[in-house]
Amino acid sequence: MIRGGRGMSYHEFALWLREPKKLKIHSSLDGYIRKNPLRYLVWRMSDGHRYQKLLRKIGPQIHQAFYEKVLNFSIIKDKD
């Protein structure tokens, strides 16, 4: 999963994990930062918010963390 120069997308997780919809995502960095009321308000008025809202309508079963500008999230590992 380590690559130089370019990040990963949801589709690369889909190829790597087969079923990324079943991932147990704990939290995302952007979601945590938006707990600050001022940062949340700025985000709500941004084009990024409108774009994420559109993407969530298209793929509601995919976790919101995959719709962030940068994929910064933590995954809960199964105990298998």
Nearest CA among 71, 57, 58 for reference residue 16: 71
pLDDT of residue 22: 72
More reliable by pLDDT, 18 or 51: 51
Tell me the whole-structure pTM to 2 decimals.
0.63
Burial class of residue 34 in the structure, from the number of CB atoms within 10 Å of its CB (0-12 exposed, 13-18 middle, 19+ buried): middle
Could you tell me the residue ranges of all domains in the chain?
24-74
Chain segment 29-43, per-residue pLDDT in tens:
888 888 889 988 998
Chain segment 47-72, per-residue pLDDT in tens:
888 888 898 898 888 888 888 877 78
pLDDT of residue 43: 85
